[in-house]
Amino acid sequence: MTGNGGRPSWHEARAIAAAAGSAPAAGSAPAAGSALAPESVPLHAAIGRRLAADLVTPIDLPHFASAAMDGWLVAGDGPWTLVDHSPGRGQASPIVTGALVPADAFAVLRSESGEVAGGTLRSTVAGEPRPGHHIRRPGTEALRGERLIGAGTPLNPAHVALAAATGADELLVAAVPSVALVLTGDEVVTSGVPAPGRVRDSFAVQLPALIGMLGGRVAGTARVPDRLDDTVAALRDADAALIVTTGGTGTSSADHLRDALRTLGARLLVDGVAMRPGGPTRIAELPDGRLVAALPGNPLAAMVSAITLVEPLLAGLAGRPPEPVRTVRGATAEGRAGSTVLVPYTEIDGRAQVAAWRGAAMMRGLAGASGILVVPPEGVRDGEDAESVPVPWRVVA
């Protein structure tokens, strides 16, 4: 449903963002903004990335029989005569964990269950060893051709260790879209307490990490004054699949983002969204296929727009679906006619408690939030299920 003033609704804007990342640009040439091709990376660099294709083992795991314990490889019933070669019946030879054992090997007697005297090995534990005891047989973990890790899986250290066991040296992973930041604003200061009429920069210190959490990689940052020529140059020269800008999205004499996009021949995909905060957010496509996500200058408005609208753009570029909208048991939250209201909340005992600090410039509510409550125009009643988007960070003790 289209929102107030003909602007797309928040849901429509999310759908447009997801489609923009994965669709070719207008025109016949391949688009720089199309879904990016996956890449092969060394195993250590694959941790934290998403697997682009199923990992199918080309070998049995394990692919040879081996000892599961330090001890002796024994043949037949004991006691056994110690030898320094592969044992025949009634013989034993020392073996270490992981060592190759013959296919017809009888068993391994672990070192704590045997004793040697006069060149003869005896078991000290009744019933040990049983036939095949402490021998890892081929294929007990996986058979050749078996799928071990499905495409789309976020890879952890155990995944890459498993891949190494199959003989892999690299893995094909989904692309991490490159992002260029363009930060605007004459009134912004980068350190200390700002003087009246000035504001402290809250974007350069958090956007690179936030973009990483949302699935992108910041490749460069430009800070530009509130001048049209400088804004045009920064957008033109940004070398990334996605350009994220902050500020300049309004219609005042200091806001040049929309004019800069027009100067560059960009196609506006989203020209404002029926949402609060973050209504001035814009999404555009440059003629060469690069995408632009223009965020408002107010910190909460920009963060809410990044979490809920930039994430689908990055997901499309990486060739994956966006993070799903979830459901939470809501508390009373007022709506706004013709708009979706996005409110930071903390989940307590399974219920969403909306933050008291939710003005467009306030960070306090989002800093302690579990997620963002999606409040429709009619509002949310206490105890009613409501849509939500989780924040992309988590606290680690």
Total H helices, total E strands in the chain: 9, 26
Q: Are residues 265 and 339 in the same domain?
A: no
Domain total for the chain? 4
φ, ψ dihedrals at 307, nearest 5°:
-65, -35
Give the range with max mean pLDDT: 80-94, 246-260, 324-338, 352-366.
80-94
Q: Are residues 24 and 146 in the same domain?
A: no
**Lowest-pLDDT range, 135-144, 221-230, 358-367?**
358-367
Q: Are residues 118 and 10 in the same domain?
A: no
**What's the predicted TM-score (pTM) here?**
0.79
Q: What is the mean pLDDT of residues 116-121?
A: 95
Domain range spanning residue 112? 66-136
Please state, in angstroms and rounded to a whole number, the distance separating the CA atoms of residues 290 and 240.
7
Per-residue pLDDT, 2: 53
Q: Are residues 21 and 70 in the same domain?
A: no
Please state, in angstroms and rounded to a whole number, the distance separating the CA atoms of residues 256 and 260.
6
Please say whether the beta carbons of 308 and 283 come within 8 A.
Answer: no
Whether 250 shows a pLDDT value over 90: the answer reads no
Whether 49 shows a pLDDT value over 50: the answer reads yes
Per-residue pLDDT, 229: 94
Q: Are residues 55 and 70 in the same domain?
A: no
Whether 44 is covered by a domain: the verdict is no
Q: How many CA atoms lie within 13 A of 337 on its CB side?
A: 1
Q: Are residues 24 and 54 in the same domain?
A: no
Whether 45 is covered by a domain: the verdict is no
pLDDT digits (tens, 9 = 90+) for 51-74: 999 999 999 999 999 999 999 999
List beta partners, residue 345.
354, 371
Q: What is the mean pLDDT of residues 37-51?
A: 95
List beta partners, residue 115.
122
Which two tokens mark 189?
A: 């200061």
Spatial CA neighbour of 371 closest among 333, 344, 394, 335: 344
Q: Are residues 123 and 14 in the same domain?
A: no
- Listed in sequence order, the residues at least 6 apart from 99 whose beta carbon sits closer than 8 Å to its beta carbon are 66, 67
pLDDT digits (tens, 9 = 90+) for 150-197: 999 999 999 999 999 999 999 999 999 999 999 987 777 776 777 787
Please say whether the beta carbons of 311 and 371 come within 8 A.
Answer: no
Last residue of a domain, one of 318, 346, 369: 318
Please state, in angstroms and rounded to a whole number, the distance separating the CA atoms of residues 99 and 62.
12
Can the peptide bond before residue 58 be classed as cis, meaning omega within 30 degrees of 0?
no
List beta partners, residue 71.
95, 110
One-letter identity of residue 140: T
Which two tokens mark 180?
A: 């260029």
Beta strand 107-110 with 135-136: parallel, antiparallel or unpaired? Answer: unpaired
Please state, in angstroms and rounded to a whole number, the distance separating the CA atoms of residues 236 and 10.
28
**Count of Cβ atoms closer than 10 Å to residue 135 Cβ:** 21
**Which position has the higher pLDDT, 128 or 360?**
128
Please state, in angstroms and rounded to a whole number, the distance separating the CA atoms of residues 142 and 98.
17
For residue 146, the domain's CATH number is 3.90.105
Per-residue pLDDT, 26: 41
Q: Are residues 226 and 310 in the same domain?
A: yes
Whether 4 shows a pLDDT value over 80: the answer reads no
Whether 395 is covered by a domain: the verdict is no
For residue 309, the domain's CATH number is 3.40.980.10
pLDDT digits (tens, 9 = 90+) for 274-327: 999 999 999 999 999 999 999 998 899 999 999 999 999 999 999 888 999 999
Q: What is the mean pLDDT of residues 383-389?
A: 90
Per-residue pLDDT, 259: 93
Per-residue pLDDT, 25: 43
Q: Are residues 258 and 305 in the same domain?
A: yes
Indicate the average pLDDT of the chain: 89
Q: What is the mean pLDDT of residues 361-379?
A: 86
Whether 206 shows a pLDDT value over 50: the answer reads yes
Q: Are residues 251 and 332 in the same domain?
A: no
The residue behind tokens 């928040």 is 10
